[in-house]
Amino acid sequence: MKLTTTQLTLCALLTAMALALSYLENLFPLALAIPIPGVKLGLANVVTLFALFALGPGEALLILLARCFLGSLFAGNVNALLFSLLGGLCAMGTMILLARRRGLSVYGVSVGGAAAHNCGQIAAAVLTLGSRAPLYYLPVLLAVSLLTGGLTGLAAACLFRGLRHTGLMNG
């Protein structure tokens, strides 16, 4: 993949924003209300959604990988890398497939991505712990993903509306 300077700069900016949003969502402790490992808003998914529609799947994947590696590096937690990578890649694959369906809006793509992210994280937990016990949480996580996916979809829709005049959305 060959990136222009503008594309590279945009990817770097979006990666920084995704990392900042990942940190910011710690201020909204959703896990206090729903005490299950892995429950979070997934605000960084707004950036992934934007990159997918505005830049394309390749660039969105680059931003996701950079966010996962840098995020676990900054957190000083290499164990978290497997969780964020599996969750992120499952979400990305699902959103790439769903984004090709003409009938779907950003809401449908976002909800599908959030659900796939949770499936990926549970798969990482099953692999890490060597037990099927984490599957017990999947139904609740999937139900929560309807809410969090809808919220990130709303945030992305607002972002797209706000950026229409910039021409970013049309390449």
Stated as kind and residue range, the H or E segment containing 140 is helix 138-163
Smaller CB distance to another protein: residue 15 or 94?
94
As to burial, measured by CB atoms within 10 angstroms (0-12 exposed, 13-18 middle, 19+ buried), residue 91 is buried
Smaller CB distance to another protein: residue 109 or 123?
109
- How far apart are CB 1 and another protein at their closest, in Å? 12
CB 46 within 8 A of CB 64: no
Q: Under the rule (CB under 8 A), what is the footprint of another protein?
A: 4, 6-7, 31-32, 35-37, 53-56, 79, 98-99, 101, 103-109, 111-112, 115, 125, 128-131, 133-140, 142-143, 145-146, 157, 160-161, 164, 169-171
CB 115 within 8 A of CB 145: yes
- CA 61 from chain centre, in angstroms, equals 10
CB 115 within 8 A of CB 144: no
- How far apart are CB 140 and another protein at their closest, in Å? 8
- How far apart are CB 40 and another protein at their closest, in Å? 11
| Vertex 92 angle, CA 91 and 96, to 5° | 120
- How far apart are CB 45 and another protein at their closest, in Å? 14
Please report where in the chains the tokens 């798969």 appear, as a residue.
123
Residue 41 main-chain phi, psi, to 5 deg: -70, -35
- How far apart are CB 70 and another protein at their closest, in Å? 19
Smaller CB distance to another protein: residue 20 or 132?
132
Smaller CB distance to another protein: residue 38 or 88?
38
Smaller CB distance to another protein: residue 19 or 104?
104
